[in-house]
Structure 1
Amino acid sequence: MRRAGCILGLVFIAPAAQAATLTIRAEGVASAQGMIYAGICDTSFDERTCPYRDREAARLGTVELRIRNVKPGSYSIAVFHDTNGNGKLDRNILGLPSEPYGFSNDVGRRGPPNFDAARIVVREPSTTIVIPVR
């Protein structure tokens, strides 16, 4: 019985798995139509490389998305305002976004977003990032 108590004691003193809450403040939302989507990506802006995603109903002004249990580390974040509710970022005939969007560190305003320039660090217990949506 003493041995079981020792093992149980080790379980209780083992460190908790590292996890953080990431709060994304999408600022400048121009309407309450549709949804705000966010992808928290670790290797590229390809949606398949975004281990964390969230969405929230659009509201005029600022929309906060809270993603819990994010493994601390470096990520790049993409946000877009799906104004027509079709679940994707619409593009014009030239392939440019026709719905409001933004990236961490406000990259991608004058050309394709640079993934490395968009990197932010998520730390425990929480990290907040502001992303202008234009």
Structure 2
Amino acid sequence: MHSPTSRLMACVLFALSSLPTIAADLVVEVEGLRGTQGVVSVGLFDTAESFPQQVLTGLRTPADKPVVEVVFRNLQPGRYAVSAYQDENGNLQLDRGLFGIPKEPYGFSRDARGTAGPPEFRDARFDLGADGARIRVKLR
């Protein structure tokens, strides 16, 4: 037989599980494309440890106009960073040349830049509120 306490806990858990979760959309505008070749890849990160190598989630869109847009839907409000690059040859990776320097256009949220590599998460991070956000990433 269930005790009154366990029934109360079950009711509380049920009530909490039926509350709507807060989810926001993030619109990322990417500018600075070099022509209309290939696709634009946009990666979303939520920790300094994963940035910029292990994306939380990623989206791709054709590089078919001067400014392209992707929308990350139903994100939990919090702190994020974004990276983007134009994959001009469609090989699904950021091509690099001598010393690992990118050969294709790339950029980060808040126009963050690193000195001898990618920027730090803290330089690219932004806060996503419950109302969502629109940010712009400039490729270089």
Q: Would you call these one fold, judging by a TM-score over 0.5?
A: yes
RMSD: 2.1
Q: CA deviation at 1:51?
A: 1.5
Q: CA deviation at 1:110?
A: 4.6
Within-5 A mapping of 1:56-75: 56-75=61-80
Q: State the identity as a percent.
A: 35
So what's the TM-score if we normalise by structure 1? 0.83
Instruction: Structure 1: state its 5+ residue gaps.
Output: 1-6
Partner of 1:131: 137
Q: Distance in 1 between matches of 2:128 and 2:93?
A: 26
Q: CA deviation at 1:109?
A: 5.9
**SS of the residue 1:85 aligns to:** coil
Q: CA deviation at 1:121?
A: 0.8
Partner of 1:103: 108
Moved over 3 A (4+): none
Q: Does 1:87 align with 2:92?
A: yes
Within-5 A mapping of 1:1-134: 14-43=18-47, 44-48=50-54, 50-108=55-113, 110-112=115-117, 113-134=119-140
**AA matched with 1:133:** L
Q: CA deviation at 1:22?
A: 0.5
Q: Identify which range, 81-90 or 51-60, moves more after superposition.
A: 51-60
Instruction: Structure 2: state its 5+ residue gaps.
Output: 1-10
So what's the TM-score if we normalise by structure 2? 0.80
